[in-house]
Chain A
Amino acid sequence: MMDIFLCLKQPSRMVDSKRMRMTSNFQWILLTFLLLYLMNQVSSQKKRTPHDLKCVTNNLQVWDCSWRAPSGAGRGAAYEVCIENGLHSCYRLEKNTKIPALSPGDHEVTINFGSSISKFTLNEKDVSFIPDTPEILNLSADFSTSTLHLKWNDKGSVFPRHSNVIWEIKILRKKNMEIVKIMTHNTTLNGKDTVHHWSWTSDMPLECATHYVGIRCYIDDPKFSGHKEWSNWSLLKNISWSSDSQTKVFPQDKVILVGSDITVCCVTQEKVLLALIGSTNCPLIHLDGENVAIKIHNISASESSGTNVVFSVEDNMFGTVIFAGYPPDIPQKLNCETYDLKEIVCTWNPGRPTSLVGPRNTSYTLCESFSGKCVRYKRAEVPTNESYQLFFQMLSNQEIYNFTLNARNPLGQSESTLLVNVTEKVHPHTPTSVKVKDINSTAVTLSWHLPGSFAKIKLLCQIEINKTNSVHELRNITMKGVENSSYLIAVDKLNPYTIYIFRIRCSTKPFWKWSKWSNEKQYLTTEAIPSKGPDTWREWSSDGKNLIIYWKPLSINEANGKILSYNVSCSSDEETQSLSEILDPQHKAEIQLDKNDYIISVVAKNSVGSSPPSKIASMEIPNDDLKIEQAVGMGNGILLTWNYDPNMTCDYVIKWCNSSRSEPCLMDWKKVPSNSTETVIESDQFRPGVRYNFFLYGCRNQGYQLLRSIIGYVEELAPTVAPNFTVEDTSADSILVRWEDIPVEELRGFLRGYLFYFEKGERDTSKMRGLESGRSDIKVKNITDISQKTLRIVDLQGKTSYHLVLRAYTDGGMGPEKSMFVVTKENSVGLIIAILIPVAVAVIVGVVTSILCYRKREWIKETFYPDIPNPENCKALQFQKSVCEGSSALKTLEMNPCTPNNVEVLETRSMVPKTEDTEIISPVAERPEDSSDVEPENHVVVSYCPPVIEEEIANPGADEAGGASQVIYIDIQSMYQPQAKPEEEPENDLVGGAGYKPQMHLPVTSTVEDLAAEDDLDKTAGYRPQANVNTWNLVSPDSPRSTDSNSEIVSFGSPCSTNSRQFLIPPKDEESPKSSGGGWSFTNFFQNKPND
C-alpha cells in the first residue's frame, strides 16, 4: 500500500510532549480528546489534498491509477502528476490517469492539485493485475454426445509477454442455476489473440435441462510482482433443447461401458409416476417443469437386446434402451497364412466378449500397410467367440505383408499387427485326385492334384505307404512346385503282389504346416516269380515203399503272387520221375521209390513263372551214435541246442511229432541255418502235458543225418491218474506193495517218482485227509527210483488195519492218489500169551478161594446161611388153607384201582412157594414190612400194581393180557422170565422150564425187555426177578400207582391173587446187560488196544 508522507510532523511531536506531561486521572480522557482532534486534523489535511492513490492494470502495460480528489475539487479539476522514474515526467490529467507500467522498484509520484501537493511512493507490488472479463464467443452443444463446446478469445495480443492463463469455467444447470461443475483450463498467452475451444461432456443429457456456462481467467505472469486477481465472470451463455410437446427420453440407444454411471431423463409435460431400469424402480430426480431424471450407477453388462429404462406416466410409457458392454479386446492369435499363394487367410480370436451385438458388434478391418489395401470383416449374424477369418487377395510380386487388424465398436477400438512372409506361411490344401499306376512289380507312379501356384517354391511331400500287417512307411519327397497343380512321382522298392495303401500330404519349404492327409488309395502291385522254392521235407511211408514229400506254402513275401501249383520231380543218376501241376492247397506228394538215392526237387509256380527248385535227398545219412534225450520247454515252445558241427553245410532241420502217433509221424519241421547251434521250436499245436518227439537232422550235400532224438514236453503237468497198486503179501508186521506204470498219455510229464503214504486206520474212520499237512501218524516214503515197482513196508503191528496211499509225481506236480486198506495178520504168540495168563490167574484164584472156603466153612455157614425159621408160623401163608378149603366168602377179592395182573398157577409144584417166601421178600425193604403192618385177618387182598406207567407196550398182546383178569399160578422158583404173550405161548413156557413164571409183560422199554428176555432165556437156572429194576425206579413216589400207595394191600405169589405177579426182588446183576451187549474177547482186545 501506499505510504503517505505529509509535511506535517509538528503536531505529532506536540502530541508526544503533551502526553508525557499528563499525570492526573484525566490523563486518559484528555489523551483521547487529543487523539480525536489530531485525527480530525490529519483527515482534514488529507481531504484537502489528493489521497488514496490506487493503481490497477489489466494488461500489464498500462497502469490505471486513481486517487481521491481533495474536498472541494470539482469535476474536471486538473491535476499534475509527476513520476520520478529516471526522467522526471509530469502529466496533466484529470482525476484518473493511465500511466505506462513502471519498472520494478519504488517510484515517487507527486500529484499537484492547485497549491496542495501529494506525494506517493508507487511500486509494482502495489499494483493489482485484474485481467479483462473474458467473453464467450460461442457456446454450442452436441446433444447426441451430451457435449458442450465453448469458444472464447484470450485476447493475448494485449499482453506484452507470454504467460500462463488459468481459465475457470462453471457449468450451471436448470433454471435455478445449480452449479454442476467448475473446471479450470490452462493456456498460455502468446502475444496474439487466440480463440480457445473447450468441450465438456455432461453426465446428464443436455436435453434434460438448460445448461449455463460462464468463464473467468487468471493470468499468472511470473514477472509481475503485484497483486494478481481473477477476472470477473463472463456473461453466462446457455444451451437448452427446444422440445416439441412430445414426451421424450434421453439418451436413446446409448452404448456405454460396463460399470459406468449414466443419467437418463424424461422430458415431458406429464407427471412421471415411476421409472424402471429393467424391473428395478428408481428414485426420480426432478428437473425443470415435469422433467425427471434417474441416475444409474455401475451399470452391468446388458443382454443382447439392451437394458430397458422405462418412465411411466399416467396412461403411457416412454423409455430408452441402454447398451452396456465392453470395448473390443485386442484381436488374439492373429495368424495369416495362405493355402495356395493366391489368397491370404487371416484368422484371429476376438477375445473377451463385448456384450454388444447387431449394429453395435465389433467390426474388423484388416489393412496391409505396404499396399495400403484394406478388407472389412462382415459382421456375423450370430456373434461368436470362435475364430474369425478374413481373406486378402495376394498381390503379385509381394511376398512380405504387414497386416494391421483393427477392431472397433462404439466403445472403442483396438488393433493387432502381423508382419508375414507368405512364402513361408504356406499351408497347402489337402491333395486330391490321388492316382496310382504300375511301372513294374516293385514300382508305381503316384499322381495327385494340389491346388495353388507354387511355381516359385519347393514342395515337401510325404507319402505314407501302408502294407497290411506291417508298419507303415513314410517317404519324404522334395519337388519343385508347378503352376498347374498336378504332381507325379515314382514310388519304388515295393513288394510284388502286395496290397499297398498310399496317402499323401504336402508342405512347402521352408516348412510351415502339413496339409491334411489325402484320401487313402489302395493298390495291388503286380506279380513276380516266386523268390525261392518251398521248404521241403520227406518221410518214408510206414511200409518203406513210398516217399512222402512235404512242403510248406511260401510266405506272401516269397510267393510274389498267387501260387497256382507245384512241380515235384525225383531224379537219380538213372532216371527222373516228375509229378507236375500239384494244385496249390495240396502241400504233399507221394512217390513210389526204391531205396536208391534220389534228389527230390520241388518248385512253386505262379502266373509269372516258377520258383527256383528246393532240393532234398531221399535217403538219410545213417548215424550209429544216437541217444534219446529228454527236454522240457518253456510253456509255449521248447529250446533245443546242439554243438556246432562244421560238416553240416546246408542247414539243420528239426522235425517233431506227437510221440503217441504212429509212424510216419510228422507234425511239422523247421529249418535253421547251418551256423546256428540252438533254436526255439514253437507251434500253436503244442499242448502242455503232451509228449513230443523231436528229431534234429544235420544236412550235408542235400542229405540229412539224424543227429539227435529228443523226447520232450513244452510244459509238464501233473499225472492225471494214480498208479495202480496191489498188495502182494501181508504178514503180521509188513506189507508188500506192487504197482504198475502209468501210461505216457496220462503221465503228462517225465515221471520223477512216487510218494507212498501209510497210516493206521479203518476204512470208515480213517480218511487220508491232508496228506501233505504233515501229520505225525502218517508215514511217507518218497520213491525216486522210477524203475522200482514194489515196496515192502515193515515194522507194522499185527492184526491192524492200515491205510495205504500211492501217488506219482512229475515236475508238473502231484498226481491223484490211490488208496487201499490192508489188515496185517494176527500175531499168534501174542494171542497164546493173552489167553494163557488170565486162565492161569483164574485157576490160582479159584484154588486159593476153595482152600479158604473149605477152612472157614463153619464161619461162612453161620454168616451167610443162618437157620431158617419154620414157615408154618407164617401168617401170611394161612390164606392158602382157605383157598384150599374153598371158602368162597374169604376168597373175595377186593379190586383196587391197579391194573389187574395175572398170576399163573402152574399145577405142578403148587406147594413150593412156601419155602421160597422169605427169599423173595428179603431184598425189598418196604414191601414185606408194609404187608405185615396191614395184614387183615381174613381179608387178604392180593393186589399188586405193576408200575405200568409211562412205557409203551410194544406188544399189543400184552394189553389184552393185562386187561384180562385171570388167576394163574406160577412157580416162583422158576427163573424163567415170561414172554410178552403168555396166552399165545403157554406151551413154550411149560416146555421151557418148570416152576414159577411171571406171565405179565413187564412195563419196561422194549429194548431193555428184549435184552432181559434174551438174557433170561440164556440163563434159566435159578431164581430171577421178573421186573426190571429200572421200572421200579421209574415210578415216582407220589404216583397213585406207586408202591407206596399200594403198600397196604401187598400180596404176591398167592394162588388166590388175581393180579399179583410181580416179584419184588431187584436184579442183582447190574452189569449183565452190559456184558451181554458187548462181550469181551481177545479180538476186541487187539482191536481196541491201538485205539486206546
Chain B
Amino acid sequence: MSCQLAILCLLTLLLPLLSRGAPMSPAERITQAYNLALSMQENMSTLLQTYLQAQGSPFSDPGFSAPELQLSSLPPADISFKTWNALDDGERLSRVQGAFLALSQHLQLVGDDQRDLNPDNPILLAQLRDARLRAQGMLGNVAAIMTALGLPNPRAEDTVGLVPFGASAFEQKCRGYIVIREYGQWTDRAVRDLALFKAKYPL
C-alpha cells in the first residue's frame, strides 16, 4: 500500500516531465526538483536501514559504517566547498545529472543483486525500485531545468559499464551499500544545489 502511494507521489512529481506540452517556468521546475530531492532525503535513512538489515551481520549491526568502501564507477559526491561554490549553473546541474544517471543504473544493478540474495524480502526490493524511480525522476527534473535555463544537456551514457557481473555475494552486498550510501550523499548535495538554484531563480 505504502509502496503504491509512493509510486503515486512519484508519478505526480514526474507528471510535468511526461507532459511536456505544458511549459513551466525554470523556477517552477527548480521547486519541483527541490521537492523531489527533499522527499528522497526523507526516505534515505529508511532505505539504508532496510538494506543493511537484510544483508546480515556485520552489515545489520547497529552503527555499521564502512567509509573505506568505494565504487569507482560512481562519481564521488564529496567536493570541496570552494570548488562547489565556484561551479557554474551548467556544470553544477550536469554533475548532479551525471551522478543520478549513474545512481539509477547502479540501483538497478543492486535491485538485481538483491533479487538473488533476498528474494523473500519484498519490502527491500520495493524500496530499491522506488529509489531507482526517484533517481530517474531527479534525472528528468534536472534535465528539464537545464532545458528551461537553456543549458546544454549532455547525452546520457552508460556509467555502470565495467561493473563486474560476476561479483561475489559479498561484493554485491558491499556494492549495494556503497550505492545507497552515495545515493544519500548525492541527494544531500542535490538538495543544496537546488536550494542554491531556488534562491537564484525565485518564483
The answer to whether B117 touches A305, judged by C-beta atoms less than 8 angstroms apart, is yes
Q: How far is the CB of A528 from chain B (nearest CB, A)?
A: 59
| A711 CA to B40 CA, complexed, in Å | 93
The answer to whether A308 touches B55, judged by C-beta atoms less than 8 angstroms apart, is yes
| A267 CA to B118 CA, complexed, in Å | 28
| A219 CA to B68 CA, complexed, in Å | 60
Is the CB of A902 closer than 8 A to any CB of chain B?
Answer: no
Q: How far is the CB of B72 from chain A (nearest CB, A)?
A: 14
Chain A residue nearest in CB terms to B114: A305
Is the CB of A382 closer than 8 A to any CB of chain B?
Answer: yes
Point out the residues of chain B lying under 8 angstroms from A316, CB to CB. Answer: 68-69
- A278-B58, A358-B115 are known contacts. Are A304 and B121 too (CB-CB below 8 A)? yes
Q: How far is the CB of B143 from chain A (nearest CB, A)?
A: 33
Is the CB of A306 closer than 8 A to any CB of chain B?
Answer: yes
Chain B residues numbered 19-60 whose CB sits less than 8 Å from any CB in chain A = 54-59
Chain A residues numbered 903-920 whose CB sits less than 8 Å from any CB in chain B = none
| A315 CA to B67 CA, complexed, in Å | 9
Point out the residues of chain B lying under 8 angstroms from A358, CB to CB. Answer: 115-119
Is the CB of A359 closer than 8 A to any CB of chain B?
Answer: yes
Is the CB of B87 closer than 8 A to any CB of chain A?
Answer: no
The answer to whether A321 touches B170, judged by C-beta atoms less than 8 angstroms apart, is yes
Is the CB of A253 closer than 8 A to any CB of chain B?
Answer: yes
Is the CB of A533 closer than 8 A to any CB of chain B?
Answer: no
Is the CB of A320 closer than 8 A to any CB of chain B?
Answer: yes
Point out the residues of chain A lying under 8 angstroms from B119, CB to CB. Answer: 304, 357-358, 361, 381-383
Q: How far is the CB of A1019 from chain B (nearest CB, A)?
A: 111
| A307 CA to B58 CA, complexed, in Å | 9
Q: How far is the CB of A296 from chain B (nearest CB, A)?
A: 14
Map CB proximity to B onto A881-920 as digits: 1 under 8 Å, 0 otherwise. Answer: 0000000000000000000000000000000000000000
The answer to whether A305 touches B66, judged by C-beta atoms less than 8 angstroms apart, is no
The answer to whether A308 touches B120, judged by C-beta atoms less than 8 angstroms apart, is no
Chain B residues numbered 83-142 whose CB sits less than 8 Å from any CB in chain A = 115-122
Q: CB < 8 Å: which of A253, A310, A317, A359 contacts B168?
A: A253
Q: How far is the CB of A749 from chain B (nearest CB, A)?
A: 71
Point out the residues of chain A lying under 8 angstroms from B117, CB to CB. Answer: 304-306, 357-358
Is the CB of B181 closer than 8 A to any CB of chain A?
Answer: no
| A249 CA to B169 CA, complexed, in Å | 12
Point out the residues of chain B lying under 8 angstroms from A276, CB to CB. Answer: 57-58
Point out the residues of chain B lying under 8 angstroms from A305, CB to CB. Answer: 54-56, 117-118, 169, 173
- How many residues from A make CB contacts under 8 Å with B? 29
The answer to whether B58 touches A279, judged by C-beta atoms less than 8 angstroms apart, is yes
| A876 CA to B137 CA, complexed, in Å | 141
Q: Which of B69, B168, B169 has the most CB of A within 10 A?
A: B169
Point out the residues of chain A lying under 8 angstroms from B58, CB to CB. Answer: 276, 278-279, 308, 310
- A358-B116, A382-B120 are known contacts. Are A308 and B56 too (CB-CB below 8 A)? yes
Q: How far is the CB of B138 from chain A (nearest CB, A)?
A: 28
Q: How far is the CB of A265 from chain B (nearest CB, A)?
A: 14
Q: Which residues of B contact A (CB under 8 A)?
A: 54-59, 61, 66, 68-69, 115-122, 168-170, 173-174
The answer to whether B121 touches A278, judged by C-beta atoms less than 8 angstroms apart, is no
- A252-B168, A279-B57, A305-B55 are known contacts. Are A317 and B69 too (CB-CB below 8 A)? yes
| A1056 CA to B58 CA, complexed, in Å | 129
| A323 CA to B169 CA, complexed, in Å | 10
The answer to whether A308 touches B57, judged by C-beta atoms less than 8 angstroms apart, is yes
Point out the residues of chain B lying under 8 angstroms from A278, CB to CB. Answer: 56-58
Q: Which of B119, B121, B122, B173 has the most CB of A within 10 A?
A: B119
Q: How far is the CB of B65 from chain A (nearest CB, A)?
A: 11
Q: How far is the CB of A280 from chain B (nearest CB, A)?
A: 8
Is the CB of A1010 closer than 8 A to any CB of chain B?
Answer: no
| A704 CA to B117 CA, complexed, in Å | 95
Is the CB of A142 closer than 8 A to any CB of chain B?
Answer: no
The answer to whether A308 touches B59, judged by C-beta atoms less than 8 angstroms apart, is yes
Chain B residue nearest in CB terms to A323: B169
| A252 CA to B166 CA, complexed, in Å | 11
Closest 5 CB pairs of A and B: A321-B169, A278-B57, A358-B116, A279-B57, A252-B168
Map CB proximity to B onto A298-332 as digits: 1 under 8 Å, 0 otherwise. Answer: 00001111111010000111111101000000000
| A394 CA to B150 CA, complexed, in Å | 65
| A278 CA to B115 CA, complexed, in Å | 21
Q: CB < 8 Å: which of B61, B69, B115, B120 contacts A383?
A: B120
| A321 CA to B173 CA, complexed, in Å | 9
Point out the residues of chain B lying under 8 angstroms from A279, CB to CB. Answer: 57-58, 61
Chain B residue nearest in CB terms to A303: B56
Q: How far is the CB of A932 from chain B (nearest CB, A)?
A: 120
Chain A residues numbered 261-296 whose CB sits less than 8 Å from any CB in chain B = 276, 278-279
Point out the residues of chain A lying under 8 angstroms from B120, CB to CB. Answer: 304, 357, 382-383
| A319 CA to B56 CA, complexed, in Å | 13
The answer to whether A321 touches B68, judged by C-beta atoms less than 8 angstroms apart, is no
| A323 CA to B116 CA, complexed, in Å | 12
Point out the residues of chain B lying under 8 angstroms from A319, CB to CB. Answer: 170, 174
- Interchain residue pairs with CB less than 8 A apart (12): A279-B58, A305-B55, A306-B56, A308-B55, A318-B170, A319-B174, A321-B170, A357-B117, A358-B115, A358-B118, A381-B119, A382-B119
Q: How far is the CB of A287 from chain B (nearest CB, A)?
A: 20
| A960 CA to B117 CA, complexed, in Å | 119
The answer to whether B168 touches A321, judged by C-beta atoms less than 8 angstroms apart, is yes
| A306 CA to B171 CA, complexed, in Å | 13
Chain B residue nearest in CB terms to A308: B56
Q: How far is the CB of B149 from chain A (nearest CB, A)?
A: 42
| A320 CA to B172 CA, complexed, in Å | 10
